[in-house]
Amino acid sequence: MRRLCAIAIGLIAVLACSQQSPQHAQATEPETGQWALAIHGGAGNIPRDLPTEERDAYIAGLTVALDRGVAVLDGGGTALDAVEKVVLTLEENEHFNAGRGAVFTHEGRHELDAAIMDGSDRSCGSVAGVTTVRNPIHLARLVMERSPHVFMAGPGAEAFAVSMGLEPVDNSFFDTQKRRDQLDRALREEQERAGLGTVGAVALDRAGHLAAATSTGGLTNKRWGRIGDVPVIGAGTFADDASCALSATGQGEQFIRHTVTGSVAARVELVGMDLEQAAHQVLFEVLRPGDGGLIGVSRAGKLVLLYSTPAMLRGLADASGRREISIWE
């Protein structure tokens, strides 16, 4: 990961040019009534000469997560169960910036955010700034299904987790050496930096319902209880059977300011735009080059994976048998 950061500045110039004619797009249109799934492990500056073992770890992690989601959907399970399972699997994998392996805050701790949304009735659950919950995406689901609320933060959210029977973990459970090294470097340079690896998933199930889930450790060296776009419904996470399901990754502040996933869905629902066109417009005409990426699935099962960064860790699968894991284009 050190090398990723080291070459980030050099890539800015590349980005500034490459975004003029964005080519980082994938789309597939399975038959209606079938299932479809897209997942991401974060968008950012991943060098093409990434050490083999690191690349293999990303690909293995995405593969396992994709497989688990596919198993749910192919077996007739719900989109909601599929996206939770995918994100929970990535939270458990220390290579991704969510759950174990999350980046460190300025104070050398971890504060995790997550959200899940069920497109069938727009029910949703978000948690922010939790420090003792092993799987924030599961807590987000409990907020959605077992509380009258949709958004909980900090110690209150943790008390709710305990009341739901979740065993708290010590905050050090999330520690990894790679992330500590990133914090040490960020502290020396006195800046917060993006921790590549927000994770997310979107799915259409056989019953025709959509769902989205996103989870993150946020920014290395973040301060002041910063909350990013992940738990903000309509920013980093959104699902509505009337339009699409979306999960974003990137510069959280930009995704909040431009209500990114809500704006994409509005283009689909209100203007009748194709999901790919809608996502493309928001990512490349509203946001700035390099701000990030998003994955989406339409109610017809069309999958869209778009990013304005050099790379996005991602995967897709659908009932037609298509199955892909990718990092660069």
Give me the residues that bind a second copy (CB under 8 A), please: 111, 122-124, 126, 128-129, 147-157, 159-160, 163, 192, 223-228, 232-235, 238, 252-253, 256-259, 262-263, 266-267, 270-271
CB of 285 to a second copy, least distance (A): 12
The residues, any chain, with a CB within 8 Å of residue 13's CB and separated by 6 or more, are none
In the bound state with a second copy, the residue whose beta carbon lies nearer, of 196 and 268, is 268
198 assigned to active site: yes
Q: DSSP of 20-73, one letter per residue? A: TS---EEEE-PPTTS-EEEEEEEEE---TT--HHHHHHHHHHHHHHHHHHHHHH
CA atoms within 13 A of residue 166's CA, in its CB half-sphere: 23
**SS3 call for 140:** helix
Max Cα–Cα distance, the chain, nearest Å: 53
In the bound state with a second copy, the residue whose beta carbon lies nearer, of 152 and 199, is 152
CA atoms within 13 A of residue 321's CA, in its CB half-sphere: 0
CB of 289 to a second copy, least distance (A): 17
Residue of 86, 36, 35, 46 whose CA lies nearest to 307: 46
CB of 237 to a second copy, least distance (A): 11
In the bound state with a second copy, the residue whose beta carbon lies nearer, of 123 and 320, is 123
CB of 234 to a second copy, least distance (A): 4
Q: Are residues 127 and 157 in contact, defined by beta-carbon separation less than 8 angstroms?
A: yes
Q: Buried (b) or exposed (e) across 130-143, using 16+ Cβ within 10 A?
A: bbbbbbbbbbbbbb
Catalytic residue (choose from 28, 131, 198, 237): 198
In the bound state with a second copy, the residue whose beta carbon lies nearer, of 144 and 304, is 144
The residues, any chain, with a CB within 8 Å of residue 21's CB and separated by 6 or more, are none
* C-alpha span between 124 and 144 (Å, rounded): 5
Q: Which 8-state DSSP code applies to residue 315?
A: E
In the bound state with a second copy, the residue whose beta carbon lies nearer, of 32 and 191, is 191
In sequence order, what are the beta bridge partners of 115? 126, 214
> At residue 109, what is the residue type?
R
In the bound state with a second copy, the residue whose beta carbon lies nearer, of 36 and 227, is 227
CB of 182 to a second copy, least distance (A): 18
CB of 267 to a second copy, least distance (A): 6
Which residues are the active-site residues? 198
